[in-house]
Structure 1
Amino acid sequence: MAEANWDLFRLFFAVARSGSVNRAAHELGMSQPTLSRRLRELERHIGAPLFYRASSGVSLTQEGEKLRRSAGTMMVAFESLQHRLRSQVGQRASVVRISATEGLTKHWLLPRVKRLRELNSRVQLEIVSTLHQQNVATSDLDFVIRMGDPGEDELVGKKVANVSFGIFGSAEYLAKHPEPRTLAELNDHHIIGQTAEFPGFKNDGARQMKMFRSIFAAPEARSVIRVAPMANHFAAAAEGIGLAFLAVPFALAEGLVRVLPQESAKVNVWLLHRRESDLRKLSREVGRFLESEFSKSKVWFAGQT
């Protein structure tokens, strides 16, 4: 004979506790005929009656009482396990974990946290601010906001913005050094260089490629400092060390001054997630909020105040 479904024992204990098939069916959210049929299925498996049925309810037979005593401890342990699991799952389901670059976190994401909390006070955010691509599988992230290459194949999502990049310096630096009028004049300036080229730039044509060649060649001619990660380029420029190639909206928010405004480049911004995160209701709500906010921010990302 095949083993009885564990759910049959759960139904048995519900009836044993309530003393009534009707009351147990109501508590379980099922019909009385369905519950009676499932109980008969368990009795056939046991090979003995488990209840005496009467108009006032049910009482346990000798076999039913033995089943209640022998399996009762296991049932209590199972219910305790279910309670702990619901509690743990509930705690994780209220947390939404997001990875974003330092610039995106500081200038775009954090200013929107208050609004998100006003819309849904249940959400708890964990934000990982890093330039490096986070491993979604090991980090248990719900969302990755990534600039440039969308990266891992297990992620799904969409391009939500284009960030404009340009050349910036501090007012202090530009007061002491003539502002460049052409890309070629960058070679006459102190340049805040990077230890590796910027990934993921959108190739829009010859003009943008010319800018790339100039901005990446300039540090070779006269670089005063090379800094990683890129978030520190903003601080270096603010200190008046030299000119830096920066995201336009972030640099403007830092109070830096743009030079050669006719020269710019673009980087795609991706909002990515794992398919599994859609199973969490709160994650779906946060995802819709982020998409809406990105849509409203297109002008800002383009560097137009």
Structure 2
Amino acid sequence: MSDVGERADRRLGGPKWDLFPLFSVVARTGSINRAADELGMSEPTLSRRLKELERYVGAPLFFRVSSGVRLTQEGKDLQRSTSAMITAFEGLHEDLRSRVGQRAQLVRISATEGLTKHWLLPRIERLRKLHSSLQLELFATVQQQNVSSNDLDIVIRMGDPHENDLVGKRVGAITFGIYSSEKYLAKRPAPRSLSELPDHDLIGVTADVPSIQSELSGEVELFAQFFDASRLGSAVRISPIINHFSAAAEGLGLALLPVPFAAAEGLVRVLPEHSAALSIWLLRRRESDLRKMTRDVHLFLEREFAKSREWLAGEQTKAAAQN
């Protein structure tokens, strides 16, 4: 084969990366025996790998001497290049490990505004005591976010999760009821039936979130009746939905709210015989399971949901379960 052909073959085939660190150890120790011991390899195997590298270079890299081996001129040139290559690779590895380490401690969670305020935030201090290096980013929104573009790790959703990219399970249900304030009820008597809802001031969602109305009303009859009434009657429409609590507290009308959250806000329930429940789903990205911190946070949330099932279900659901 011609020299040109040999050079072409070497360019096409190329040496394996692990040959260069092996060569570097031999060059540093000056002995194939000592290098083999340090590398945990047999001497014949190491010698064979070095010959592979020499064939690629097309020149001898070592002279054998009584004390071991000594670098040829080509070996000295390769040692300088190899040292620079290994230093650059170690720097890359250290930088990558630092960046991966930072992201590994960060957990991004998306949940509804109400769940974030009344359920998730009260548990953050306890979670951080268990994991002092934990960093959290919380996205409080009722809208379903794009999991990939927001790089979310854990998603807590109500109702049908509608997400094929996530895995998880149903961890409970949250009961909804109709609420108002003493201020509003002082002005107007509470409705005696759902049919009287259109005669009241109702707090509804704005037109920019029609998907919420269609999704929830499609699942539960009470949602359908309340949303229909809010379109017919005098309604205050507010987004985001978390502000429905404040609007109800200000006496602006009746609102359809989660029972445990509305009770925590000091609101008054009307038509307590009417309730509805939505499932709560604890979901995660399958890829995020590779991060230990994400797995630990997910297990913590799963345990906390198990403890909170009765509270989330509300008084009506608990009473029904007991009967």
Query: Structure 2 length normalisation: TM-score?
Result: 0.82
Paired residues, number: 297
Distance in 1 (alpha carbons) for counterparts of 2:77 and 2:305: 63
TM-fit CA distance, 1:152: 2.6
Q: Does 1:199 align with 2:207?
A: no
The offset of 1:201, in angstroms, is 6.1
Q: 1:179-231: CA deviations, max 9, x gaps?
A: 2232223233221122331624685xxxx62x344322322342231112211
Whether the aligned pair in 1 keeps the contact of 2:111 and 2:139 (CA below 8 Å) is yes
Once the two structures are superposed, residues 16-55 of structure 1 have per-residue CA deviations (whole angstroms, 9 ceiling, x without a partner) of 446666876787xx5242x862453133331355456789
Report Cα offsets for 1:146-165 as digits up to 9, x if no partner: 11221231111111121111
Q: Which amino acid counterpart does residue 10 of structure 1 have in structure 2?
A: P
Paired residues of 1:22 and 1:32 also in contact (CA < 8 A): no
User: Which deviations, in whole Å up to 9, do the C-alpha atoms of 1:79-114 show, x marking residues without a partner?
Assistant: 211111111111111111111111111111111111
Instruction: Give the AA of the match of 1:300.
Output: W
The answer for unaligned runs of 5 or more in structure 1 is none
What letter corresponds to residue 20 of structure 2 in structure 1? F
Mapping of residues 27-176 of structure 1, within 5 Å = 31-33=40-42, 37-38=45-46, 40-47=48-55, 50=61, 60-176=71-187
CA deviation after TM superposition for structure 1 residue 5, in Å: 1.1
Rounded to whole Å, the distance in 1 between the matches of 2:96 and 2:141 is 32
- Secondary structure at the counterpart of residue 160 of structure 2: coil
Distance 1:38 1:22 in 2: 9
| Aligned residue in 1 for 2:198 | 187
Quick one: percent identity of the two aligned structures? 57
Q: Which residue of 2 aligns with 1:219?
A: 230
Alpha-carbon distance change, 101 to 20 in structure 1, aligned in 2, over 3 angstroms: farther
**Equivalent residue number for residue 5 of structure 1:** 16
Partner deviation per Cα, 1:266-295 (whole Å, 9 max, x = no partner)? 111111121111111111111111111111
State the alpha-carbon separation in 2 of the partners of residues 171 and 249 from structure 1. 18
Which has the higher mean CA deviation after the structures are superposed, 230-239 or 66-75? 66-75
What is the distance in 1 between the residues matched to 2:138 and 2:28?
A: 47
Q: CA RMSD in A?
A: 2.7
Which one is further off, 104-113 or 18-27? 18-27
Structure 2 contact 24–82 (Cα < 8 Å) conserved = no
CA contact (8 A) 1:168 1:243 kept: yes
Q: Is the 8 A contact 1:147 1:200 kept in 2?
A: no
Cα separation, partners in 2 of 1:262 and 1:202, compared to 1, 3 Å: farther
CA distance in 1, matches of 2:284, 2:115: 17
2:257 to 220, 242, 246: 246
The structure that has the greater radius of gyration is 2
**d(CA) in 1 for partners of 2:36 and 2:97?**
23
CA contact (8 A) 2:216 2:224 kept: no
Alpha carbons 2:32, 2:47 under 8 Å: kept:
no
Q: Are 1:165 and 1:266, in contact at CA under 8 Å, matched by a contact in 2?
A: yes
Normalising by structure 1, we get a TM-score of 0.86
- Residue type of the alignment partner of 1:115: R
Q: Which amino acid aligns with 1:157?
A: G
The one-letter code sitting in structure 2 at the alignment partner of 1:37 is: T
Q: Does 1:273 align with 2:273?
A: no
**1:261 is matched with which residue: 246, 255, 272?**
272
Once residues 162 and 120 of structure 1 are traced to their aligned partners in structure 2, the CA distance between those partners, rounded to angstroms, is: 28
Q: Mark the CA change 1:157 to 1:53 in structure 2 (over 3 Å): closer, same or farther.
A: farther
- Counterpart of 2:246 (choices 235, 244, 257) is 235
| CA-CA distance at 1:56 after TM superposition | 7.4
Stretch of structure 1 that moved more, 279-288 or 36-45 = 36-45
The structural deviation recorded for 1:238 is 0.9
